[in-house]
Amino acid sequence: MSLISSHNPYVVKLYFAFRSKEFLYLVLEYVNGGDCSSMLRAVTRLNPAAARFYTAEATLAIEFLHNHGIVHRDLKPDNLMLTREGHIKIVDFGLSRRATTTADQSKSQLAFERAVRRRSRRLGWQRGGGDRSSSSSSSGDDGEREDGLAFRPIKRGDKLYSPVGTSRYVAPEVILSVGHDHRVDWWSLGVLLFEFLVGHTPFDADEMDEIYNNILSGNIAWPEEDMIPDDAKDLIKRLLTTNPHTRLGRDGAAQVKAHPFFQGVDWDTLYLQQSPFVPQLASEEDTSYFNHRAA
């Protein structure tokens, strides 16, 4: 897929590119409402309705990319821009790749499980353990395989092997270097939803190794307060399932869209609806939302 040919309202459009002797220049669609990271800094966290709206829009953006064979691999609030109407545009495709190498699924799952066992022995923990969370490693595998909802533009088994992403949003299979595919984007969506509702990511820690250990053990920092509705918590658990072979979204976006958290969402008209946050822009040239705004 070329961004030049993109006509999706949730994906930033690339108009053209040119290069000098030293640099490559990309002329992109003008989106001046800031990004979701700046929005969160200003409001700390979103109410469930707003979190549902933006997570739904992000889901449609991911679905579009996957339908065109693209794995984004770096989904985070900084890469979700806001239009002047307050709708999201996914940006920054520097780490995105096509998933084209077919791998045997049974071998892939065995490789993942071996890597987890090796890491567990080395660090002395068991998956799903830890004092700060309920286990997410087994979530999403309750026997409800919605095979009829699968899509195939990205085939199951299309794998990538380069280590990429931002530490707090990266999926376990990336850390373990066992190959990854479209399912890493659904993991990142789970991190996004948690951050929208709570105001920080679910695996926060002071040190990188501790963040990675929390991710690999499914050690989610659930808040004590009643910040997360039950349906949202269930969706987060299913998206943050450490084993990609049982993670929600493994068979496509329709699996995610069918979750009860999105009940009542009109997917076909979402972009036409009023967004929860509309940037207050003085003019078309106003770029104040790109500045760091105080909370």
Give me the active site residues, please: 74
The length of the chain, given as a count of residues: 295
Dihedral pair phi/psi, residue 180, rounded to 5°: -145, 165
H-helix or E-strand containing 16?
Answer: strand 14-19
The number of CA neighbours under 13 Å toward the Cβ of 266 is 7
221-248: string of b/e by CB count within 10 Å (b at 16+)? bbeeeebbeeebbbbbbbbbbbbbbbbb
CB 279 within 8 A of CB 289: yes
Partners of 97 in the β-ladder: 71
Place of tokens 């087994």: 138
CA 200 to chain centre: 14
Q: Hey, what amino acid is at 57?
A: E
- Compute CA distances 216 → 26, 57, 145, 268, whole Å: 36, 28, 23, 36
Q: Which residue has the tokens 């822009």?
A: 281
d(CA 32, CA 290): 7
Distance CA 40, CA 268 (A): 26
Are 129 and 120 contacting, i.e. CB atoms less than 8 angstroms apart? Answer: no
Beta strands at 14-19 and 80-82: parallel, antiparallel or unpaired: unpaired
**Cβ atoms 248, 138 nearer than 8 A:** no
Strand partners, 180: 160
- Beta strands 70-71; 97-98: pairing state: antiparallel
